[in-house]
Every structure is written in structure tokens, then in C-alpha cells.
Amino acid sequence: MTLTDRDPTGKGSAEQTQDFSVTDQKQTVKSFHPALKLALELGPLAVFFAGYQWGDFFIATASFMVALFASMLVSYVLTRHVPIISIVSAVIVAIFGGLTLYLHDETFFRMKPTIIYALFGSALIGGLLFGKPLLSAVLGTAMALTEEGWKILSLRWGLFFFVLAALNEIVRLFFPEHWVQFKVFGATILTLGFAVAQTPVMLRYELKSEETDSSQPST
């Protein structure tokens, strides 16, 4: 039996086509291999470190900017989607990286992580003040959590970003000779470790498939 046999009006066929499109889109995102995703996220940092080791800070900055925009382009080609968090980061990198290169002053690029962390922390905490866990808008396609779960994660990540902002300023101002190592290794390890530490929360507040189905309106 065909779809038109079941629904002579053709509406069912259109709905089925729409459902298939949504499913295909989700499958496209899921097929984006985690190893490749991690490589695209950490690749620019690796390029920055290599540029610093074999060149200087300004070569590293320029290399990082090129690598970041290249990774975003590859990500878009593979998924047809660029997360808003990546777009905001890219804009800030372009501004502060450009100032560093134009004025030949490392200060701007070294301050860049502080601005990004403070901005993300403020957005997450501010969203909670208005009853909107904004983290769900960023990670909602990757996992399904209850409203309470999203609020807990938004609060934790918001506070964590403020901690990273403070740490970046401490290292930048008092240990400038170690800033590159902190940016490439320290902040990355702290972020990955913090993300793994949130696993119990994600498991506890995860929406099961039955709950997700029941929450969707019937047609």
C-alpha cells in the first residue's frame, strides 16, 4: 500500500516527507564522527601552539585565525550548521586577533579568552534569571534533558566560564610566560574534565525515548 492509498489528500505524504527530512537531518548530524568533531575543535589550538613554537606569537595568532575559520567551513560543509557559540567566538577572535596583528600587541589576543568566557558565563546565568536555560539552545540537538537538568547544567557551566575567565586573567597578568601553555593545555584539560564531571547530571535528568515521544503532540 502506498502513502497516497492511505491518505488520498496527499497531506500524509507531505508530512511523511517532512518527517523523513527531519530524520535525515538528525542522521547527518549524528554521522559527524566524534573524532572528526574533536579534531576540528582542537585543531586550531594545535596550529596556534605549533605556530608559537616554530615562529612567534603573531604567526601563531594569524595561523589560529585561519585554522579556526577553516574548521568552521569544514563543519558547515559536513553538517550544514554552525553553532551560535562558534559564530560568536569567531567574531571575537577576528576582532581581537585583528587588533593584535594590526597593532603588533599581544595583549588583545591574550585578553580574548577572558572576553569569551565572561560573555558565555553572563549569557548562561542571565538566561537563568529570566527562566531560560540557554544551554538547551546550544546542546539541545545533542541530548534530551528535562527542564531542571538544563537549568542545573546552565548554572554550572555559567559559573565554570567565570572561573576560566578569572584564571585566564591571573595567568595573563602574573604568569605571562606560561599563558600559551595554559591556553592550549590548561584550559582545554579543565574544560574536558568539567564536561566529563557533568555526566551524572546528564544521566539523571536525561529524557527517555518514551518521555520524548509522549511530550510531542499527537497528529
| pLDDT, tens digit (0-9, with 9 covering 90-100), for 145-175 | 999 999 999 999 999 999 999 999 999 999 9
Q: Percent of the chain scored above 70 by pLDDT?
A: 79
Predicted structure pTM score: 0.78
CA distance 198 to 141: 17
CA distance 158 to 151: 10
CA-based nearest residue to 161, from 127, 197, 115, 129? 115
CA distance 87 to 43: 17
Provide the pLDDT for residue 18. Answer: 39
Side chain identity at 192, as an amino acid letter? L
Provide the pLDDT for residue 22. Answer: 37
CA distance 217 to 65: 45
CA-based nearest residue to 64, from 40, 45, 77? 45
Exposed, middle or buried, 218 (CB in 10 Å: 0-12/13-18/19+)?
exposed
CA distance 208 to 72: 32
| pLDDT, tens digit (0-9, with 9 covering 90-100), for 58-81 | 999 999 999 999 999 998 998 888
Q: Any idea where the domains of the chain sit in the sequence? A: 26-210
Helix locations, 31-139, DSSP H: 34-54, 57-79, 84-103, 106-129, 135-139
pLDDT bucket at 14, cuts 50 / 70 / 90: very low
Task: For residue 40, give the C-alpha cell.
Answer: 576540528
Cell 585566564 locates to 168
Average the pLDDT over each of 78-87, 103-112, 118-127, 196-205 and give the range with the smallest value. 78-87
